[in-house]
Chains A and B, each alone.
Chain A
Amino acid sequence: MECKFVPSVCSYCGVGCGVLFKVVDGKLTGTLPLKTHPVNEGRLCVKGWNIHDFVNSYLRLKSPLIRAFGRFIKTDWEEAIKITSDRLKDIVRQHGPDSVGVLVSAKMSNEENYLAQKFARAVIGTNNVDHCARL
């Protein structure tokens, strides 16, 4: 049996508590507070203690889905990306870049937010990019 603890950050509210993910044989089995962390000093709230629950949920999406004839069908990345990029390219060609909007997320990492707005601005060519801090 292999057991390791990986330091990370809670993904719920904006406080940013330090957590340790407990990993046993490649499975996430628990969440612990990080003792020395400057934000939470070894404590967590009820949500933070249970992060592994949503990570491991059977409801997680496991493959890309495409809607065809009103229903979702499972597909692979290659096809999902191809269909999406073809349709996006079509829309940009027909209606211009400002006919596309991108909603980024306060739940994504900095790196991912950076790429998402770069995608909107440099790839699509629009400043229609916003997130839900207003909401």
Chain B
Amino acid sequence: MAGLAAAFGSGAMTNSIADIEKAGCIFIIGSNTTACHPLISRRIYRAKERGAKLIVADPRGIQLSRFADVSVHHRLGTDVALLNGMMHIIVKEGWHDADFISQRTEGFDELSQVLDRYPPNRASSLTGVSVGQLKEMARHYATYGPAALLYAMGITQHTTGVDNVKSCCNLAMLCGNMGVAGGGVNPLRGQNNVQGACDMGGLPNVFPGYQPVTDPEVRAKFSAAWKKELPAVPGLTITDMVPAMLEGCLKALYVIGENPKLSDPDWNHLHHALKNLDLLVVQELFLSETAQVADVVFPAASVAEKDGTFTNTERRCLRIRKAIEPVGDALADWQIISRLSSAMGYPMEYGSAEEIFEEIRQMAPKSYGGMTYERLGIDGLQWPCPSTDHSGTPILHTQTFPRGKGKFHGVDYQAPAELPDEEYPYALTTGRMFAHYHTGTMTRISEKLDNEQPTGYVSIHPEDAARLDVAAGDPVRLSSRRGEMEAPARITRSVPIGTLFLPIHFGENPTNVLTSAETFDPLAKIPEFKVAAVRVEKLPVEKEL
């Protein structure tokens, strides 16, 4: 989000899901949309049927690659070089939108200077994408407008994540694809309420509605409403909390609905950090890997057992409704937090989720002020929705950007923090598969979903498999500088030679034993899950006698 905020002044999907069907061209980079966001991929196929062009850039061969007009497999972590190479060609051919650039943006000179350094030959040698393919990508994106750009964790989970996002914004502004139907820069959020968690101030530096904790006026407003003096110094990100636990500065951690033991980088590192805590409280549906090491576990109600709202990836606030009573003694998360808060001497006496929503409207008026439970109905409303007569905002930045003019950033390519070498010759990347979700706590216990994919696996190219003498299903050991794990091999041409892919859902094959907690984007603090160097060994197959 930091990259989007730097370019536009706010961080969210700029257009809407339905709007994708209006695109003349759809450019997908770092998103395996059919697996991770199936009902968005449906819009992509519908647009394609209508004649839209499709560009897919992904280090792996994904389902959408097969339907693309231009499909490229760039080297892991070379997104900036790829995008700069495209923009170099667009400017050279005069396909950019000079009117949009002069009226709506600033910093174009800074960008042009950087682009000069990315002629097709250099971009091609950095990314492994041929000059011909680069030209086709540039031509399709720039000449079949409006072009929608879609990305996901393949762009953000890198040491250069913020740079990658800035480059996506550069490309969209260069061709005047902002503020128009069928265009935009569209990050696809991985979890159902990531957008809402950010909107509600679930971040160390901002209150609800992205109001900075360092701003005295903002702090005074929240202090008055909450009747409490509030801390002025931004807090620790999750990436900073782990070292703080190891050093003994962070003594207690209250984890609500998260399973960091499987989702955080570097499992060994985190395992020691959690053990070092005086108090670990976990609020969960299941006894997850993290809950298993907790001191106190609170049983939480599921989505069907409570009222509330989620805000989806297109900024649409949607109501969930209580359908059944919670199992056992489980309570809705808001009820548990209220009880704990009251016991701590700060009474929270909300009678319903709607009462809390009314407080949110007051405290984040620009985005949520005009929403009420009644107005949300079934279809919801897209923020910003500042007043009760406002019908919501399907497309952002139609007239101006929140920061005024859109800002181009000259961004140079930097190699990933860890590249394959002699000792660890393979590049490892991670991701999701269609039947499972995140750390698997909700999907792996479903018989039907478990049938689709019961175990973890590692994807490996046939040539690499032949070199290692590995057959399909053989167990292999993967080791990195952090640790080692085992998984059965799946032999597939969907990964390039020298690259391995691991799905993240399986606790018995924990991907994060291998990935690094030391390498993360310096600004956004997103760990580099998408590139790590590993070694592969074949394990002896246990023969049944």
A binds B: yes
Segment 7-44 of A: residues with Cβ below 8 Å from B: 7-18, 21, 23, 26-28, 34, 36-40, 43-44
Residues 95-135 of A, flagged 1 when their CB comes within 8 A of B and 0 if not, give: 10111111111111111111111111111111111111111
Q: Which of B93-101, B107-115, B127-135, B297-305 contacts A (4 or more CB under 8 A)?
A: B297-305
A85-B190 CB under 8 A given contacts A8-B303, A26-B324, A135-B527: no
**Residue contact A16 to B312, C-beta cutoff 8 Å:** yes
Complex Cα–Cα for A119 and B281 (A): 14
Complex interface: chain A residues within 8 A of B238 (CB): 103, 130-132, 134-135
Contact of B471 with A by CB under 8 A: no
Instruction: State the interface size on chain A (CB cutoff 8 A).
Output: 100
A127-B235 CB under 8 A given contacts A101-B253, A102-B254, A109-B333: yes
Contact of A1 with B by CB under 8 A: no
Complex Cα–Cα for A77 and B256 (A): 16
**Residue contact A106 to B327, C-beta cutoff 8 Å:** no
Residues 307-348 of B, flagged 1 when their CB comes within 8 A of A and 0 if not, give: 011111110111111111101111111100111110111101
Which of B38, B190, B239, B379 touches A38 (beta carbons < 8 Å)? B379
A119-B304 CB under 8 A given contacts A28-B323, A39-B316: no
**Residue contact B303 to A131, C-beta cutoff 8 Å:** no
Residues 389-401 of B, flagged 1 when their CB comes within 8 A of A and 0 if not, give: 0000000000000
Complex Cα–Cα for A32 and B197 (A): 26
**Residue contact A16 to B230, C-beta cutoff 8 Å:** no
Interface size class of chain B, counting residues whose CB lies under 8 Å from the partner chain: 35 or more
**Residue contact A117 to B202, C-beta cutoff 8 Å:** yes
**Residue contact B296 to A84, C-beta cutoff 8 Å:** yes
**Residue contact B317 to A110, C-beta cutoff 8 Å:** yes
Contact of B467 with A by CB under 8 A: no
**Residue contact B320 to A109, C-beta cutoff 8 Å:** yes
Shortest A65–chain B CB gap in Å is: 4
Shortest A131–chain B CB gap in Å is: 4
Which of A47, A80, A100, A123 touches B251 (beta carbons < 8 Å)? A100
**Residue contact B203 to A130, C-beta cutoff 8 Å:** yes
Which of A11, A34, A87, A101 touches B236 (beta carbons < 8 Å)? A101
A39-B437 CB under 8 A given contacts A6-B321, A61-B286, A103-B255: no
Q: Which of B83-91, B258-266, B479-487 contacts A (4 or more CB under 8 A)?
A: B258-266
Which of B189, B331, B449 touches A47 (beta carbons < 8 Å)? B449
**Residue contact B189 to A64, C-beta cutoff 8 Å:** no
Complex interface: chain B residues within 8 A of A111 (CB): 308-309, 334, 353, 356-357, 360
Shortest A28–chain B CB gap in Å is: 5
Complex interface: chain B residues within 8 A of A119 (CB): 254, 337, 340-341
Segment 455-488 of B: residues with Cβ below 8 Å from A: none
Complex interface: chain A residues within 8 A of B497 (CB): none
Shortest B408–chain A CB gap in Å is: 25
Which of B241, B285, B527 touches A128 (beta carbons < 8 Å)? B241
Complex interface: chain B residues within 8 A of A52 (CB): 304
Which of A43, A116, A129 touches B337 (beta carbons < 8 Å)? A116
A52, A57, A91: which has the most chain B beta carbons within 10 Å?
A: A57
**Residue contact A13 to B37, C-beta cutoff 8 Å:** yes
Complex Cα–Cα for A85 and B305 (A): 25
Which of B231, B284, B345 touches A127 (beta carbons < 8 Å)? B231
**Residue contact A130 to B310, C-beta cutoff 8 Å:** no
Complex Cα–Cα for A91 and B348 (A): 21
Residue of B nearest to A134 (CB): B526
Contact of B295 with A by CB under 8 A: yes
**Residue contact A65 to B204, C-beta cutoff 8 Å:** no
Which of B284, B341, B448 touches A123 (beta carbons < 8 Å)? B341
Contact of B234 with A by CB under 8 A: yes
Which of B251, B306, B359, B449 touches A99 (beta carbons < 8 Å)? B251
Complex Cα–Cα for A55 and B380 (A): 24
**Residue contact A112 to B333, C-beta cutoff 8 Å:** yes
**Residue contact B329 to A62, C-beta cutoff 8 Å:** yes
**Residue contact B318 to A16, C-beta cutoff 8 Å:** yes
Which of A9, A61, A81, A132 touches B287 (beta carbons < 8 Å)? A61
Complex interface: chain B residues within 8 A of A99 (CB): 249-252
Contact of B443 with A by CB under 8 A: yes
Which of B204, B297, B356 touches A61 (beta carbons < 8 Å)? B297
Residue of A nearest to B334 (CB): A112
A64-B329 CB under 8 A given contacts A13-B190, A91-B279, A105-B197: yes
Complex interface: chain B residues within 8 A of A8 (CB): 303-304, 319-321, 323
Shortest A64–chain B CB gap in Å is: 6
Shortest A35–chain B CB gap in Å is: 10
Complex Cα–Cα for A55 and B360 (A): 28
Shortest B214–chain A CB gap in Å is: 10
Closest 7 CB pairs of A and B: A62-B328, A16-B312, A109-B308, A127-B235, A14-B189, A105-B257, A45-B38
Given A45-B39, A52-B304, A67-B296, 13 more A-B residue pairs with CB atoms under 8 Å apart are: A6-B321, A34-B378, A39-B316, A47-B434, A50-B449, A61-B285, A102-B256, A103-B260, A112-B256, A119-B254, A127-B205, A127-B235, A134-B524
Could you list which residues of chain A lie within 8 angstroms of chain B, going by C-beta atoms? 4, 6-18, 21, 23, 26-28, 34, 36-40, 43-48, 50-55, 57, 59-67, 72, 76-77, 80-85, 87-89, 91, 95, 97-135
What are 13 A-B pairs with beta-carbon distances under 8 A? A6-B304, A9-B310, A11-B302, A14-B191, A21-B324, A65-B296, A101-B235, A110-B309, A115-B350, A119-B340, A121-B228, A130-B236, A135-B526
